Structure 1
């Protein structure tokens, strides 16, 4: 009898049914995003018409009529201008970018020693990639190597430790300086911003007042002013005979500025945490540090990931302002090379600025996409 009853019970779970054909794929995406309503259809038609009008000319100038190789300005000039192009429209001068590429990446770092920043970059990528992978093991060791060991090793490699020739930071430039400033600013601003946000919500009046003054003063002045203060006023507080390297002054100024903005982002997340979370942590007998580390801050950071990444993106682009104090990041070194008379053409400046803008876009877009990935990965509110 028992065998007869169990014969009608399936021994395997039935798998989920596939989604309807009309709900997945490119056709479903087009129907949902481009032609869902009459207004969407109209806007799609207008957008496609605008692209059809503008895009061919842009592609023609950027790629088809572009000059890719050459040793001087004549390859990017028409015959009427005394150049090598016999007829047709003069396109982008990518030969200029190719000729100056090493300077755009390393600045005036000696060519024979450029293997050192390249080695630092390789180590940075090898440590950063597993750090960004949620399921990668040994996160603690990875963070220690990335945020503590790597900066020390990079400092001695780039400046001239380990018996290597010394290279002044005044020779550094290009994308290398942009990445150094951004990485240092990001690595410092997040923990300092968390401390400032917690201090602003503190019940101790002195700590709260100091944090409020710091945040409001820094947020009330532009980054250029902060950089000038770090470059000019910071050495005045040092003992006689002491000095700060110009790069270090820029690092301090960028870190101070970004920390103040990061503090407000974190404070907004702290205010969005329900009061019951604090009370629940207190009922468990957790100390203040345990409550923040285990209960409050993980939820806060998950909520404000868009704001954090937005601050990081702004910081990455704002590093171009260090040219005010005589340092040349990517945009600064591109602008500096535009004055080279050997490459002075009507299209050189536009081509160089397009290259710089494209590099900035790649990094900023990458950070934005990773932000979306982390939001989806940490979005556990509706999962069962």
Structure 2
């Protein structure tokens, strides 16, 4: 039997060469695999290209090619004849630029706004760069120290006994309010036959409460009079506050057993506060007061957006945790709060905060108009953030909390060190979406006499010096670019944070 293979199993000629593989990298590969890989995608690509052509080309021609770049009044932005096409009137933006940024803020004091913008950028940028050190110190400066400095720089004024004397005055006004209300209810009860006894009892209880508050206020009143006997009550208030806080810290940390470091840190904080008061002259009246009604433009937009974003997060976290609480009273209050604020439009909230909130504060205590709007926006946005955060909490397996409890961690440590960080990582897109929506909704504050960027733009249209057919489109194009830069920046940074935090999940 022969071992030779039959000739029918031996190839007599070479195999033909296979075609080269289709290129899937580079620009050509991107076109082939993403844009023209199927008849449907080819059609969508062609339609999208036509839309971009008919939208972007006229916009570029209007803002750049046919635009007017120099001029002193409206005549520079008017067509010389019927055949000439005039684009954007950029001299109008140059003439109104300071109004768009500062509003009606006094021109000699605008350096204060520039300092606030500079300090905010200097403190915010290190927080956004992950590799930079000292995040805790930087966060403390940005979230605690910077708002105080920004307030006194923007608003002005000084510290006129904001410690014990201010507290005593506020409590005294509250005491007068409940005392007057109680006496009115007693009088109403004596004059009413149907519900008179109930009103009389409520009035008597309020008068009794007012008497008790008066007894409690007596030591504070003595202390206030003692503070005001000094030449500079600000420093006396600061000294008393330092003594009280240091004493409480010393007692809560276990005295000398905890060492000297907590006390040294606390004294350093108060020393920094005293240095800031001395540098800004807050004990001598401070800077000239600029009423918030003169604020406007990008300044108001950033103040409302930043304050709303920062304050809505703790409000949302508290409401989300309260809605998941096992205590019925806390859960019902959180649900009612969230559903109420989510069930009314932001315009209603702003009207309520501006015109009705002063009716609920004690006599003699006033709240600035901008502060009322900030309070309403913070509560409104906090209700929406609560639902975003609750969705993230629901995505965390119960085993995470059970494992932390098995290790002996308390509820607070389990929530804020184990569960909540993972929940926030899941809902970054939703949170940033709310931030972007809030930044754009700041234009609604114009209905309560606060002129933000769009409000100042609409006010500038009434200037007859710049009344041209293209002024309106130029102004809205300029503000649209500003809003797009901020919103697109937040969107891209959130994507960067999301990818960085989820890097361990990549295949």
The TM-score normalised by the length of structure 2 is 0.69
The aligned counterpart of 1:222 is 345
- Does the 8 Å CA contact 1:69/1:98 hold for their aligned counterparts? no
Structure 1 gap segments, 5+ residues each: 1-19, 81-85
* Distance in 2 (alpha carbons) for counterparts of 1:103 and 1:336: 10
The aligned counterpart of 2:90 is 94
The aligned counterpart of 2:385 is 262
The aligned counterpart of 1:8 is none
Equivalent position SS for 1:236: helix
* Distance in 2 (alpha carbons) for counterparts of 1:157 and 1:21: 63
The TM-score normalised by the length of structure 1 is 0.90
* Distance in 1 (alpha carbons) for counterparts of 2:401 and 2:145: 36
Q: 1:119 aligns with which of 106, 112, 115?
A: 115
Residues 1:54 and 1:265: Cα distance change in structure 2 (over 3 Å) = closer
- Does the 8 Å CA contact 2:24/2:32 hold for their aligned counterparts? no
The aligned counterpart of 2:156 is 160
- Does the 8 Å CA contact 1:159/1:166 hold for their aligned counterparts? yes
1:296-342 residue CA offsets vs partner (Å, 9 max, x unmatched): 01100000000000010011011110001000000111011111111
1:150-197 residue CA offsets vs partner (Å, 9 max, x unmatched): 010011111124332221111100001100111111111111100110
Instruction: Note the C-alpha offset of 1:71.
Output: 1.7
- Does the 8 Å CA contact 1:309/1:368 hold for their aligned counterparts? yes
The aligned counterpart of 1:364 is 487
The aligned counterpart of 2:68 is 67
Taking the TM superposition and a 5 Å limit, the aligned residue runs for 1:180-219 are: 180-219=303-342
* Distance in 2 (alpha carbons) for counterparts of 1:203 and 1:299: 21
Structure 2 gap segments, 5+ residues each: 1-20, 158-279, 281-285
Say yes or no: does 1:136 pair with 2:259: no
- Does the 8 Å CA contact 2:68/2:89 hold for their aligned counterparts? yes
Instruction: Note the C-alpha offset of 1:21.
Output: 11
The aligned counterpart of 1:104 is 100
Instruction: Note the C-alpha offset of 1:274.
Output: 1.3
* Distance in 1 (alpha carbons) for counterparts of 2:350 and 2:434: 18
Instruction: Note the C-alpha offset of 1:379.
Output: 0.5
The aligned counterpart of 2:11 is none
Instruction: Note the C-alpha offset of 1:354.
Output: 1.3
My pick for the range that moved more, 86-95 or 237-246, is: 86-95
* Distance in 1 (alpha carbons) for counterparts of 2:308 and 2:55: 39
The aligned counterpart of 1:249 is 372
Q: 2:478 aligns with which of 348, 352, 355?
A: 355
Equivalent position SS for 2:68: coil
CA RMSD for the aligned pairs? 1.8
- Does the 8 Å CA contact 1:67/1:76 hold for their aligned counterparts? yes
